Amino acid sequence: MHSADYEQLSQQVRHFVFHRAPELARDIEDLGTCGPEIWQELRQEGFLRLAAPQEYGGIGLDFIQYLQLLELFSQMHGSLRMIVHVNNGIWRALARRATKEQVERFVRAQVAGDIVVAFTLTEPNAGTGTDIQTTCYKDGNTYYVSGEKWLITFGDTADWYLLFARLAKSQGDHGTIALMVPRNTPRLIVEPMPPAMGLRGTGHAHLILNDCPVDVSCRLGEEGEGLDIAFQGFLEPSRIGIAMTCVGLAQRAWDLAVARAHERVTFGKPLISRPVIREWLADMATDITAARQLTLYAAKKWQTHHHAPAESSMAKLFGSQMLQRVTDLALQIHGGGGYFQGSEIERIYRDARAQRFEEGTAEIQKVTIAKALLSSPLPATENAKP
């Protein structure tokens, strides 16, 4: 997108984030849900098709352009940024191995907002990789799927589930499969999850599948390509996106902390004059800047190579840990008043805890980083032994 058009779009996003979104946030906190009218408003603004290519009906921003806007979006209510983030990323997984018919049926329909698709990988008793336990077997032109999925974002209202399973008796990633499972599939039970600590308007679901029939035309890619679709198609770029959401939310917390430090007076002096507060703010700003630069570094590599497993996990790991540190100090600067509901920093503190788990915990990121870095041969050195 040309710079003038991009600047106009940035101003549109900024106006929405700081003028319209606060009104929506109050309703979301009161009702505990983001109703269809909120989704429709975000669609009408064009915010749910920013990153998709024009050939799919999207606006066609490059990855870094999109991330710069995502930093802004992340300064609004966490459930709103979640809608923006997921809908601007799941098309990649759908398109990665889609046939021409599937592009029209699933990819263009998702970008247009005609269908809502939920990414469906996590299970109650398994991680998010080769240990998935949901299984399927093929009989004729039908797969029969059994297992459980949970913590599925937008799973309570989704029209389709991009669901990952493994062929019965297979091991590793060779037997994994990606299926588009319609909500009305026979013997599929969708149970809403209990309300979460934060992201109060984001619904999650627990899916129970018992020999659910799925037509072979709903398989994306070939048998054995399931985890490739999950990781290269969605998780890697999404982890970079999550890292940028941490930057945006931390920036908002910092801005609020600075404003509060100017307003709050103790012992006749504003907090901003206290050396310890100034040190905290300096540490917070340094943390935020470091996370932003690491995220952009990962984004550039992914945008160039469409493969950056170590860098995406580094960005997500550092960004989520940074966000916890920044929001802790921001709440401390606000004092006891920031602990009560109705305070923006109280909501930010709650919402910030979600990024610790989105797209994998810190422990998962470290495993991914180590695997990516240590799988390559060590460089030769003068002291290397044969």
**pLDDT of amino acid 384:** 42
- The CATH number for 322's domain is 1.20.140.10
Mean pLDDT over 265-271 rounds to: 95
Rounded to whole angstroms, what are the CA distances from 311 to 170, 342, 357, 374?
30, 37, 18, 14
What's the structural domain count of the chain? 3
CA-based nearest residue to 149, from 118, 186, 177: 118
Cα–chain center distance at 254: 22
Mean pLDDT over 206-217 rounds to: 98
**Nearest-angstrom CA–CA distance, 94 and 77:** 27
The last residue of a domain, from among 197, 224, 251: 224
The reply to whether 237 and 357 lie within a common domain is yes
**pLDDT of amino acid 291:** 98
With a cut of 70, say whether residue 386 has pLDDT above it. no
Q: Which pLDDT band, with edges at 50, 70 and 90, does 375 fall under?
A: confident
Backbone angles phi, psi at 129, to 5 degrees: -155, -135
The reply to whether 37 and 126 lie within a common domain is no
The verdict on residue 385 lying in a domain is: no
Mean pLDDT over 24-31 rounds to: 95
**pLDDT of amino acid 2:** 84
Across the chain, mean pLDDT equals 94
The reply to whether 209 and 80 lie within a common domain is no
Catalytic annotation present for 359: yes
Angle at 132 between CA 126 and CA 135, to 5 degrees: 130
The last residue of a domain, from among 47, 79, 112: 112
The verdict on residue 47 lying in a domain is: yes
Mean pLDDT over 22-45 rounds to: 96
The reply to whether 314 and 207 lie within a common domain is no
**pLDDT of amino acid 131:** 87
Mean pLDDT over 220-233 rounds to: 94
**pLDDT of amino acid 1:** 83
Mean pLDDT over 374-384 rounds to: 59
The reply to whether 219 and 246 lie within a common domain is no
The reply to whether 22 and 105 lie within a common domain is yes
Q: Of the listed 104, 359, 363, 382, which one is catalytic?
A: 359
End-to-end CA distance of the chain: 52
- The bridge status of strand 160-167 relative to strand 117-120 is parallel
Mean pLDDT over 292-300 rounds to: 98
**Nearest-angstrom CA–CA distance, 203 and 124:** 17
Mean pLDDT over 36-60 rounds to: 97
Burial (CB count <10 Å: 0-12, 13-18, 19+), residue 141: exposed
The reply to whether 143 and 107 lie within a common domain is no
Rounded to whole angstroms, what are the CA distances from 113 to 48, 58, 98, 109, 125?
8, 11, 18, 6, 32
The reply to whether 220 and 233 lie within a common domain is no
The reply to whether 197 and 329 lie within a common domain is no
**Tens-digit pLDDT profile for residues 323-361:** 999 999 999 999 999 999 989 999 999 999 999 999 999
**pLDDT of amino acid 104:** 97
Which residue spans within the chain are E strands per DSSP? 117-120, 135-139, 142-153, 160-167, 176-182, 188-192, 204-215, 219-220, 265-266, 269-270
The last residue of a domain, from among 192, 224, 256: 224
**Tens-digit pLDDT profile for residues 243-261:** 999 999 999 999 999 999 9
Q: Which pLDDT band, with edges at 50, 70 and 90, does 377 fall under?
A: low
pTM of the shown model: 0.94
Query: Which domain does 94 fall in, by range?
Result: 3-112
Greatest extent of the chain over all pairs of C-alpha atoms, in Å: 79
Q: Which pLDDT band, with edges at 50, 70 and 90, does 27 fall under?
A: very high
Over the Cα atoms of the chain, what is R_g? Answer: 22
Copy the structure tokens of residue 119.
Answer: 């990414």
CA-based nearest residue to 205, from 213, 195, 215: 195
Rounded to whole angstroms, what are the CA distances from 197 to 32, 200, 234, 342?
11, 7, 25, 15
Q: Which residue do the tokens 């499972």 mark?
A: 181
The fraction of the chain above a pLDDT of 90, given in percent, is: 92
The fraction of the chain above a pLDDT of 70, given in percent, is: 97
Mean pLDDT over 23-33 rounds to: 95
Q: Which pLDDT band, with edges at 50, 70 and 90, does 376 fall under?
A: low
- Convert 113-132 to b/e letters by CB count within 10 Å (16 or more is b): bebbbbbbbbbeebebbeeb
Length of the chain: 386
